[in-house]
Amino acid sequence: MRSPAALDRADPLARFRAEFHLPPGKIYLDGNSLGLLSQRAETHLNRIVNEWRTLGIEGWTDANPPWVGLSESIAANLAPLVGALPAEVAVTGSTTGNLHQLLATFFTPDSPRNVILADELNFPSDIHALKSHLTQRGLDPAKHLRLVRSRDGLTLQIDDLAAAFTDDVQLAMFSAVQFKSGQLLDLAALTRAAHKRGVMIGFDCSHSIGAVPHELSNDGVDFAFWCSYKYLNAGPGAVGGIYLNQRHHARAPGLAGWWGVRRDQRFAMSLDHAPSPDASALQIGTPHLLSLAPLQGSLELFAEAGGIVPLRQKSLELTDYLMTLVESELTGFGFTLANPHLAHERGGHIALRHPEAWRICQALKIAGVVPDFRTPDLIRLAPAPLYTSFADCAAAIAKLREIMHAKTYEIFSETRAAVT
Ligand SMILES: *Cc1c(COP(=O)(O)O)cnc(C)c1O
């Protein structure tokens, strides 16, 4: 195997690491929970702050570029990451808020189709949202929310999902990448299967956007949504996004607000809602400029890196490298790899399963490695292709080996916080 230094020297994307603020003395492998700040994101954030300071209200029209069109121009820059037309993307709201908007827009229960299909591995917040839409329409979630089971508690079988598209299902929603195991679903195949059975289908791309290419338009997906603070590195709670397939652009937004009004009529202040003829119809209120600005800088870096395809290539090389190191360095310590091994089935992180996962994560943090624990027994390691090096991966696994060898994790209390 080539040395990590040789791999880094051969990496065409290595120069982007210098664009980021890396936490001093740490190996950061938690970019799938919160991506790091880049200088570019910081510059754009500071620009908005300065414009606010000097222009006040006139920033909406006189800033460079004017704030008023910022969410639309950022949406156009983001569209290639998910394989969408610019008009099919809105950069707005939060992940869960956007799911609420999409359900308000797409969930139209009617006899006999009055079931929402999801899966038991889905992100809890998404399930909360699905249940609340059923309850709001007087439908009992116990009967009208159907969750496809996972056979191994970590992954989903495409056949199990496809078999669940029965005639009473109106809408299906899955995560493109499972947040625990990192399993990547085949969006094209699922969309075909859903549409064949007359089911609307949408995807949560929070764990895939910025790490995995999507072809939402080509795949014919009805809708999708995501956050921008993981692999997109746009900052804590950054503005999220929505994909709305163009065949749905005449659909009335379920939750209407003045930023969903056509741009040329938004400031006419009419009490009649004339929705935008595109995904921005799903915007509700004034854009959150301060948590939008960093995304603009971050997307510049994605464009300069050549887009999502070379980033995915590097991401796969990094996770491959990590898996190889786990196999060569950590045998006999009780770890199993819980993520799918095949490239087309895995997202941007690997997941190590160990009964002592929580205590091992505490020891890793003390050793200067930032991992991510997911209850009850998973350690997630996410190398971010823009800023993680092969040397980082090698050093992290070496630290993990030391911890296991010396059993230093045993100094931590076995009782783990209920909420982590
Ligand atoms: C991170 C994440 C979310 C987060 O939702 P917020 O509304 O931004 O808190 C939702 N779904 C998935 C799959 C995620 O990974």
How far is Cα 301 from Cα 71, in angstroms, rounded to an integer?
18
Tokens found for residue 140: 């009992």
Q: Who contacts 287 (Cβ-Cβ below 8 Å, separation ≥6)?
A: 67, 70, 71, 91, 92, 239, 259
> Hey, how many other C-beta atoms are within 10 angstroms of the C-beta on 315?
27
Is it the case that residue 404 has pLDDT exceeding 70?
yes
Q: What is the pLDDT of residues 1-39, one digit of tens each?
A: 789 999 999 999 999 999 999 999 999 999 999 999 999
Structural domains of the chain ordered from first start: 4-30+307-411 (3.90.1150.10), 45-304 (3.40.640.10)
The pLDDT tens digits for 280-313 are 999 999 999 999 999 999 999 999 999 999 999 9
Q: How much is the pLDDT for 420?
A: 44
Look at the block and give the residue holding tokens 């085949």: 186
Q: What share of the chain is helix, strand, coil (3-state, %, to 5)?
A: 45, 15, 40
Establish whether 380 is a catalytic residue: yes
pLDDT in tens, 47-83: 999 999 999 999 999 999 999 999 999 999 999 999 9
Give the separation between CA 359 and CA 413, rounded to whole angstroms: 8
* Per-residue pLDDT tens over the stretch 252-274: 999 999 999 999 999 999 999 99
Average of per-residue pLDDT across 357-363: 96
Structure tokens at 160: 């199990």
- Picking from 97, 108, 161, 118, the residue whose alpha carbon sits closest to that of residue 139 is 108
Catalytic site includes residue 123: yes
Q: Answer whether 0.95 is exceeded by the pTM.
A: yes
With a cut of 70, say whether residue 324 has pLDDT above it: yes
Ligand 1 atom at shortest distance from the alpha carbon of 98? 7
Measured between alpha carbons, how far is 306 from 114 in angstroms, rounded to an integer?
43
Strands (E), 57-184: 89-91, 115-119, 145-148, 169-175
Q: pLDDT tier at 413 (50, 70, 90 boundaries)?
A: confident
Centroid of ligand 1 to alpha carbon of 95 (angstroms): 6
Q: Within 6 Å (CB) of ligand 1, which residues are found?
A: 94-96, 123, 125-126, 175, 179, 204, 206-207, 227
407 is catalytic: no
Task: Tell me the average pLDDT of the chain.
Answer: 96
Q: Is 211 helix (H, G, I), strand (E, B) or coil?
A: coil
Q: Is 243 part of the annotated catalytic residue set?
A: no
